[in-house]
Amino acid sequence: DAGVIQSPRHEVTEMGQEVTLRCKPISGHNSLFWYRQTMMRGLELLIYFNNNVPIDDSGMPEDRFSAKMPNASFSTLKIQPSEPRDSAVYFCASRTDYEQYFGPGTRLTVT
Amino acid sequence: EDQVTQSPEALRLQEGESSSLNCSYTVSGLRGLFWYRQDPGKGPEFLFTLYSAGEEKEKERLKATLTKKESFLHITAPKPEDSATYLCAVFDFGNEKLTFGTGTRLTIIP
């Protein structure tokens, strides 16, 4: 299995631009999670899906952030408009039962 | 609300010097405790899940143990390649989310 796949691996954009991060979970996993990691705040859960349905988006920082999971093999996290404080590493993770696996992350830099 | 505290924040050991990392937690009902290893620039790598007090799991030089209030990650005769940040997280009944600690940054000096 290829594991959780994320793209792009690095994204540099200017403030105000739209950013879309993509994730392909491990086949057969029914839960998908989006996290953000910074030095200051550590690993924060933004949103998670169960069977493609958003269950808890309480971690989404504001309305500029949105996430979708149109099918079991694909999810997106969109930031519009982006701001410098959104700079972080964004991880996608998928889980079945009691083992949760992370992707390699997308390093986002907003200038 | 679930809480996870890891200590120490950072630990430097000489190669071959065994030690333990601590993860203490407060949850309403523990469903599982996860340990991860994270290398710089990479995603957390799953190591273990522990489900009940008294349970132990081993992988190479690492052994994880669990009590009702805390978990330990014991590292025996570490090597420089064991240098990483080790994260623990708890998973409780009625909540599908993992709650992570802030991690212990482990450095093994050759």
A31-40, A88-97, B90-99: range with lowest mean pLDDT: B90-99
Average pLDDT over residues B99-104: 93
Distance CA A102, CA A100 (A): 7
Question: Residue A89 is encoded by which pair of tokens?
Answer: 């590493």
* Residue B72 clears pLDDT 80, i.e. is over it: yes
* Residue B54 clears pLDDT 90, i.e. is over it: yes
Distance CA B81, CA B43 (A): 16
Measure CB to CB from residue B46 to each of A31, A55, A101 and give the nearest one.
Answer: A101
At A1 the pLDDT is 67
Q: pLDDT band for position A2 (50/70/90)?
A: confident
**Residues in chain B closer than 8 A to A7 (CB atoms):** none
* Residue B105 clears pLDDT 90, i.e. is over it: yes
**Residues in chain B closer than 8 A to A56 (CB atoms):** 96-97
